[in-house]
Amino acid sequence: MSKQPLPQLFDATCQSDAHVRWLHLCACDALVDGGLAVSFDVVYLGAPCTAFAVRFQGQVRAYLNRCTHVAMEMDWIPNRFFSSDGQWLLCATHGAMHHPLTGACTAGPCNGGLTLIHTREQGDAVHWQSQYDLLPAI
């Protein structure tokens, strides 16, 4: 009797495009270098979650608003993630510092980097990309 290979439950190379969409987030000028973030609601791995977008060195980045140390939101005042010098994204509870362009934790209690959400600027708008595990909140 020959062994049959087990079926794959998920093949990242064969994702359906059914859940991959670009969704409007905000106007480009709503994001200022080192300034306030724009928050938005998502469903990540089936659970409701808040995400945020910022601009740093002219580039837009978006991440889940979730501390990598303990699953809680990072901002101490709504939409305030940057350090006072505008160079780092901070977890207000634990003091972890993350690089704005990569989400990598550079200081404080680190447990990996922030979860990136792909963004693009098109015309005068910023869009974020949904995925099989990251969907817009209804």
Six-digit token string for 23 = 């969704």
| pLDDT value, residue 18 | 60
| pLDDT value, residue 110 | 84
Q: What are the φ and ψ backbone dihedral angles of 28, each rounded to 5 degrees?
A: -55, -40
Every domain of the chain and the residues it spans: 22-136
Six-digit token string for 123 = 């015309």
**Contacting residues for 109 by C-beta, under 8 A, at least 6 apart:** 69, 94, 95, 96
N-term to C-term CA, the chain: 50
| pLDDT value, residue 93 | 87
CA distance 71 to 90: 14
Closest CA to 129 of 25, 12, 11, 10: 25
138 residues of the chain, pLDDT tens digit each: 444 333 322 233 334 456 679 999 999 999 999 999 999 999 999 999 999 999 999 999 999 999 888 878 999 799 999 999 999 999 998 889 999 999 999 998 888 899 999 999 999 999 999 999 999 997
Pairing mode, if any, of strands 119-122 and 116-117?
unpaired
Q: Which fold has domain 22-136?
A: Rieske Iron-sulfur Protein (2.102.10)
pTM above 0.75, yes or no: yes
